[in-house]
């Protein structure tokens, strides 16, 4: 069983719509959850992190965490073409000083 799973996509949404990206993880004891955005040829950029169950909002981004279901999601409101990128979900490895296990990413395409 893969430790962090994401749908590879591509997920295509029209400009102005809400993009919903999902992630599941296998380690029930994980405590820290991250969303990174990666443009082609660039390194990952941290956009959100969440530690507690519930929602966390930052501008157009909302991270949602449900530890009972081992599920993390990222909502992007008012999607823009500049949001087109690969979104990586990451979960801390408790046995390794908070090194991260990454999903393979979901490719998002926002069409004008």
Partner 1 sequence: GAGVSQSPSNKVTEKGKDVELRCDPISGHTALYWYRQSLGQGLEFLIYFQGNSAPDKSGLPSDRFSAERTGGSVSTLTIQRTQQEDSAVYLCATTSGGGDEQYFGPGTRLTVT
Interface with partner 1 by CB under 8 A: which residues?
Answer: 32, 34, 36, 42-46, 49, 88, 90, 92-93, 95-105
Shortest reach from residue 102's CB to partner 1, in Å: 4
Tally the C-alpha atoms within 13 A of residue 12's C-alpha that lie toward its C-beta: 2
**Nearest to residue 53, comparing CAs of 37, 27, 73, 77?**
73
Q: Closer to partner 1 at the Cβ: 62 or 79?
A: 62
Alpha carbon distance 15, 94 (integer Å): 38
Residue position matching structure tokens 């979104």:
87
Shortest reach from residue 54's CB to partner 1, in Å: 19
Shortest reach from residue 15's CB to partner 1, in Å: 28
Q: Closer to partner 1 at the Cβ: 45 or 55?
A: 45
């Amino acid at each position: 069983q893969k430790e962090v799973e994401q749908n590879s996509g591509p997920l295509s949404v029209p400009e102005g719509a809400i993009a919903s990206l999902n992630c599941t993880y296998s380690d029930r004891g994980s405590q820290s959850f991250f969303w990174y955005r990666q443009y082609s040829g660039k390194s990952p950029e941290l956009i959100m992190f969440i530690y507690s169950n519930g929602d966390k909002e930052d501008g157009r981004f909302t991270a949602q965490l449900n530890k009972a279901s081992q599920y993390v999601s990222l909502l992007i409101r008012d999607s823009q073409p500049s949001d087109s990128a690969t979104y990586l979900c990451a979960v801390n490895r408790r046995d390794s000083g908070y090194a991260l296990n990454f999903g393979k990413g979901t490719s998002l395409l926002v069409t004008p």
